[in-house]
Amino acid sequence: MASVIFIVLNGYQGAVNLYAITFISGRLSGTTANPQQAAIFLASGVPCLMFLFESYKKWDWIKAMLVGCLVLTALALFLTGSRTGILTALVTLMMFYRTNGGAMVRLGLFASVVLVVTLPFLIQDGTLLGANYDINMVADRFTSGENTRADVWSGMWRAFSNNPLFGAPLQGDRLGYGENSWLAAGAALGLMGFIPLVLFTLECLKMMLDLNGLSKRHPKYFLHCSTVIAALASLLIGSVFEAFLLGNLSSFVLTLLIYLSLGQYLMEVEKREQATLQHYAIYGG
């Protein structure tokens, strides 16, 4: 829902003035002021949209609205020009349909048909909705093979190598994080900060494995488990290219905590069901 609200708000802003806050250097940033942050924010909402799409079986206006939300999210991701955002969205789809490749192919074909039908109306003469906006500026981002993070990553690695235990000394009045949660933790905090981040990630991976087992034992919870698994996987992959895991309580950290809470809730539901079955087995109805 947050992703849908984000698209609606920025769509309204774009209708009023396309450049006021919506685009920076030709890339969609919306209310985040950063195209990369906007892309990860959009991608983190894809698992919930997929859950609603798959759980609602009847084809009616509600299903059509969900399809529209997915298409608009895909278009917004494209307009961010973020390869990281596209990667996290693809990871979401692969993890969500990890046991049903046929469904993923059908969804991809269906989405392709919808995009082929709608894109001519959205993109006119190389512009977005006829506005003075060149769509090729974003397209060039995806065709470019340039590694825009190489210098930042190498600098953080040198900082960690020179100060492996506690990280590089603080310069200025605040910490500055680069485009990688792991290297940023090592460079700024050394092993003292890197090890807790690794332990946190291992717990996330453990929950993903536990939820995968839960989905096999109780197929009725498959979509619920897949939503959390896909979200955690996409956010962890995204953390390799953005340092959002080091935020105090950013929207991305909050999203990650929400998905972890949902995963823990599903595990607790299974425990309660098992306890109920054991009670009936011992004491009867």
pLDDT tens digits for range 141-171: 767 767 777 788 888 888 888 888 887 776 6
Indicate the SS3 state at residue 27: strand
Domain count, the chain: 2
Task: Check whether residue 133 and residue 206 sit in a common domain.
Answer: no
Q: How far apart are the first and last CA of the chain?
A: 41
Amino acid 133: pLDDT = 56
Average pLDDT for 51-62: 85
Dihedral, CA atoms, 88, 94, 97, 99, nearest 10 degrees?
A: -140
Distance CA 234, CA 92 (A): 6
Is residue 226 a contact partner of residue 52, using CB atoms and an 8 Å limit?
no
Instruction: Find the domain containing 136 and state its range.
Output: 1-145
Rounded to the nearest 5°, which phi and psi values hold at 24? -130, 120
Task: Check whether residue 140 and residue 274 sit in a common domain.
Answer: no
Distance CA 3, CA 104 (A): 21
Task: Check whether residue 265 and residue 134 sit in a common domain.
Answer: no
Task: Check whether residue 1 and residue 132 sit in a common domain.
Answer: yes
Distance CA 14, CA 22 (A): 6
pLDDT band at 232 (very low <50, low <70, confident <90, very high): very high
- Tell which of 127, 145, 163 closes a domain: 145
How distant, in Å, are the alpha carbons of 163, 211, 267 from that of 224?
43, 9, 11
247, pLDDT greater than 80: no
Mean per-residue pLDDT over the chain, rounded: 79
Task: Check whether residue 134 and residue 164 sit in a common domain.
Answer: no
Task: Check whether residue 164 and residue 121 sit in a common domain.
Answer: no
Task: Check whether residue 275 and residue 156 sit in a common domain.
Answer: yes
Task: Check whether residue 127 and residue 151 sit in a common domain.
Answer: no
Average pLDDT for 208-225: 92
Give the rounded distance of the alpha carbon of 73 from its chain centre: 11
